[in-house]
Chains A and B, each alone.
Chain A
Amino acid sequence: SQKIEQNSEALNIQEGKTATLTCNYTNYSPAYLQWYRQDPGRGPVFLLLIRENEKEKRKERLKVTFDTTLKQSLFHITASQPADSATYLCAFPFSGSARQLTFGSGTQLTVLP
């Protein structure tokens, strides 16, 4: 069955540094992968989508890479700020469905001032 893993449950970094979060998957070759942000008491909010034929996608201070050989996506936040503190989730579609998503367990990022 499909399996998606995120590198760690929690990551603490100093303000201004680059945060790097990892998402690994097995037993599947997704056509795309998504990253979401979830704040406590709220639903996830979509951040970025990267397709299998794209190596890198950027949005402001965010950068996502997608390595289909390694079966891995990296999510970077440059010049991190305390407001970036949240749980970040990666997700990809169920096999055979473009709309239903399976989520990783999430990485809780804390940016220390």
Chain B
Amino acid sequence: SAVISQKPSRDICQRGTSLTIQCQVDSQVTMMFWYRQQPGQSLTLIATANQGSEATYESGFVIDKFPISRPNLTFSTLTVSNMSPEDSSIYLCSVPRTGFNEQFFGPGTRLTVL
């Protein structure tokens, strides 16, 4: 199984600022996913981050708001830009299990925007 860590685990931010969330995996993976989980809601896929190419964003999510970096096969960052209270959520990264379809998830970053 893959071990995934995220930093920070939580943060409280002011409106209009940006926060960069880091995701570190203990093994090399081609695909990494970023999800958002709004309070009381399920997970919604934001984007897929592939090493060496631009991230692929899902409907309703744009690069200007959620820029993603993927500098190598074990690391990715998601930035939440120009934050508003509506961005208050848990942000999770995940990776697929090699050769299988299930995913391993990080512990999440709980973001509160005031």
Contacts and interface: CB of A to CB of B under 8 A. Distances in A.
A32 B105 contact: no
B41 A105 contact: yes
A102 interface: yes
Interface stretch (A39-47, A68-76, A78-86): A39-47
Q: In the complex, which range does the number of interface residues on chain B fall in?
A: 20 to 34
A89 B35 CA distance: 14
Interface residues of A, number: 21
A101 B103 contact: yes
A94 B58 CA distance: 11
A43 B92 contact: yes
Interface stretch (B67-75, B78-86, B94-102): B94-102
Contacts of B97: 46
Interface string A21-53: 000000000001010000001111110010000
B34 to A, nearest CB: 11
A99 interface: yes
Nearest to A93: B101
A49 B45 contact: no
A99 B96 contact: yes
A71 to B, nearest CB: 18
B105 A100 contact: no
Interface of A: 32, 34, 41-46, 49, 89, 93-94, 98-106
Closest 10 interchain pairs by CB?
A43-B105, A46-B102, A103-B42, A103-B43, A105-B42, A99-B96, A44-B105, A43-B92, A43-B108, A43-B106
22 contacts: A41-B107, A41-B108, A42-B107, A43-B107, A44-B43, A44-B105, A45-B105, A46-B97, A46-B104, A49-B101, A49-B102, A93-B101, A94-B45, A98-B101, A99-B31, A99-B33, A100-B33, A100-B45, A101-B43, A103-B43, A104-B42, A105-B41
